[in-house]
Amino acid sequence: MAKKLIELQTIKLGFLGDAGVGKTSLCNVFLGYKFKGDTLMTIGVDKYEARITLKNGKNIKLILLDTAGQERFRSLAYSTLRTVHGIIVVFDLTNRDSFKNIDAHLEEIKENFDNKITILLGNKSDIKESREVSNEEIEQYIKQKKIVYFETSAKLNQGINEAVSYIANEVYDKEDLNINNNILIDNSCVDKDINNNCCNGKKRRKKKKKK
């Protein structure tokens, strides 16, 4: 198939939150994979790539960094956030402790990455019978913290695209992004948007000519 040379700008987003809140499932479902209830916990940092179309029609490369939630990996998670443009903090609506621990994550972000655009996700909204955090509590919290909030369900694929699209557009509008090296990519993949799961297109970097 013919190849087309295009220039892609890159936006890097980091996922932060306690272990088991569903960060990996959110990434996988966003990329178009089927939800699995037995997803293995992340060890260290996992990297995902996709291509999306912003609201201004600009095609960009999106890198998602899924950080481990276990305490022993916390320093690595915070270190990873230094490389991202935006941060997505996730808690589990069925786990009150994960909601309480948001404060620690936001405090760390404020002290070390205060210029990072940050949003909050309440995941597992589909498990209504086990919900431990009320809408009233969340409304009060996000008003106090002045943070944008999305309620999501990886199982039902709800709220994920909206959340990622929102923060990607916010980053693009406010950040001075550097254009990456040229990338050769299938023509059939060029015009797909956030819902078309273009991340599986074959890619290869342009080879430099030998002097």
pLDDT per position as a tens digit, 52-68: 999 999 999 999 998 87
User: Which strands sit side by side in the sheet containing 183-186, from one edge to the other?
Assistant: 3-6, 183-186, 203-205
Percent of the chain with pLDDT over 70: 71
pLDDT at 201: 35
Question: Can you name the residues that pair with 121 across neighbouring β-strands?
Answer: 90, 150
Collapsing DSSP to helix, strand or coil, 178 comes out as coil
Report for 129-133, 187-191, 199-203: range of highest mean pLDDT: 129-133
DSSP 193: -
Residue type for 24, please? Answer: T
Cα distance between residue 13 and residue 79, in whole Å: 13
Pairing of strands 148-151, 117-123: parallel
163 neighbors 37 (Cβ within 8 angstroms)? no
Check whether 186 has a pLDDT greater than 80: no
Sheet with strand 45-53: strands edge to edge: 45-53, 59-67, 9-17, 86-92, 117-123, 148-151
Alpha helices in 22-101 (DSSP H): 23-30, 74-80, 96-100
**Mean predicted lDDT score pLDDT of the chain:** 79
3-state secondary structure of 194: coil
- What is the C-alpha to C-alpha distance for residues 112 and 178, in angstroms, rounded to an integer? 22
pLDDT, residue 124, reads 96
Among residues 80, 66, 69, 76, the alpha carbon closest in space to that of 25 is found at 66
